[in-house]
């Protein structure tokens, strides 16, 4: 790469970073808004989440095209290629996070008019706070290329999974106690699963930061704590 190409390459990278930062800001906002909409049963806010998700999808395609054009034009070296592969991966995870927030928002519409056992909101609230802070931290870590902070996010995902598992059991119990809770709790189960998966994508971004900084894939298995797919809560237990 000559000086001129190197300068253009740096500009390309900068513009990629700006697009990712924009996607990151949007996705943080969508996650927070979708959960506020869920907790406050705010249909108008839910609708705005659904509309804004399209902007994230469009940005992801822009990142993809910009990344590919940058590689084709500047022929970067291995270390610089990593920057671009990382941008592709992060934008992918952010796009999925936007989708998950959109799914939560869609459920808010479904819940309109249904009775809500007030106790339930507590578990969702606590879990969401953690996920939102994980997402914020990992996006900060990405913008600072800070692998150590990213690893902290990576390690904390187990806590979210533990809250999800206990919330899952709690919701099943409510359903068993009173069948009138079934409709509401089913939607809440899907919302909780979506929030848990947003946490997984924050963890993926942490892995991408590790790869970007250290040039190698994380050797450890990710701390995997969502045990609900293994959960068998019988009727008797639920009483």
Percent of residues in the chain assigned helix, strand, coil, to nearest 5: 85, 0, 15
State yes or no: residue 233 binds a second copy (CB under 8 A): yes
What does the DSSP 8-state code read for residue 37?
Answer: H
186 near a second copy, judged by CB under 8 A = yes
Per CB under 8 A, the list member of 114, 125, 129, 145 interacting with a second copy is: 114
Q: Which of 79, 179, 216, 219 binds a second copy (CB under 8 A)?
A: 179
Query: Helix or strand or coil: residue 7?
Result: helix
Please report how close the Cβ of residue 115 comes to a second copy at its closest, in angstroms.
10
Contact 110, 191 (CB under 8 A): no
Least Å distance, CB 207 to a second copy, is 11
What span, in angstroms and rounded, lies between the C-alpha atoms of 231 and 142? 35
Binding residue for a second copy, selected from 15, 48, 190, 222, defined by CB under 8 A: 190
Ordered DSSP codes for 22-76:
HHHHHHHHHHHHHHHHHHHT-HHHHHHHHHHHHHHHHHHHHHHHHHHHHHHHH--
Q: Which is nearer to a second copy, 54 or 144 (CB)?
A: 54
Token readout for 238 is 């639920």
Contact in structure between 90 and 63 (CB atoms under 8 Å): no
Provide the minimum distance between the beta carbon of 222 and a second copy in the complex, in angstroms, as a whole number: 12
Least Å from the CB of residue 109 to a second copy:
6
Residues of span 154-173 touching a second copy by CB under 8 A = 172
Q: Which of 40, 81, 144, 223 binds a second copy (CB under 8 A)?
A: 81
34-63 residues near a second copy, rule: CB under 8 A: 61
Among positions 39, 43, 45, 88, the unique one binding a second copy when judged by CB under 8 A: 88
Q: Which of 4, 44, 113, 118 binds a second copy (CB under 8 A)?
A: 113
Give me the sign of the Cα torsion angle 69, 73, 75, 79: negative
Torsion-angle region of 128 (φ positive above 0: left; ψ -120 to 50: alpha; else: beta):
alpha
The SS3 assignment for 143 reads: helix
- Choosing from 106, 154, 201, 205, the residue that interacts with a second copy (CB under 8 A) is 106
176 binds a second copy per the rule CB under 8 A: yes
Please, which residues have CB within 8 angstroms of residue 201's CB and are 6 or more apart in sequence? Answer: 93, 94, 96, 97, 100
Per CB under 8 A, residues contacting a second copy are 61, 64-65, 68-69, 71-73, 75-76, 81, 84-85, 88-89, 92, 103, 106-107, 109-114, 172, 175-176, 179-180, 182-183, 186-187, 189-190, 193, 217, 228-235, 238
């Amino acid at each position: 790469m000559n000086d001129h190409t190197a300068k253009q390459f740096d500009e390309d990278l900068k513009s990629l970073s700006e697009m990712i930062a924009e996607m990151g800001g949007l996705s943080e906002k969508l996650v927070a808004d979708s959960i506020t909409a869920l907790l406050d049963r705010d249909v108008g806010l839910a609708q705005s989440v659904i509309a804004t998700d399209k902007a994230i999808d469009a940005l992801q395609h822009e990142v993809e095209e910009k990344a590919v054009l940058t590689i084709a034009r500047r022929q970067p070296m291995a270390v610089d290629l990593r920057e671009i592969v990382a941008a592709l991966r992060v934008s992918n995870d952010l796009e999925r996070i936007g989708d998950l927030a959109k799914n939560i928002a869609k459920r808010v519409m479904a819940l309109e008019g249904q009775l809500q056992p007030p106790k339930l909101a507590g578990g969702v609230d606590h879990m969401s706070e953690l996920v939102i802070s994980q997402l914020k931290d990992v996006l900060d870590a990405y913008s600072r290329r800070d692998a150590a902070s990213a690893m902290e996010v990576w390690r904390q995902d187990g806590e979210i999974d533990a809250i999800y598992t206990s919330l899952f059991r709690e919701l099943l119990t409510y359903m068993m106690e009173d069948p009138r809770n079934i409709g509401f709790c089913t939607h809440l189960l899907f919302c909780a699963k979506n929030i848990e998966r947003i946490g997984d994508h924050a963890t993926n971004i942490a892995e991408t930061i590790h790869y970007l900084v250290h040039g190698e894939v994380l050797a450890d298995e990710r701390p995997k704590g969502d045990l609900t797919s293994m959960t068998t809560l019988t009727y008797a237990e639920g009483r």
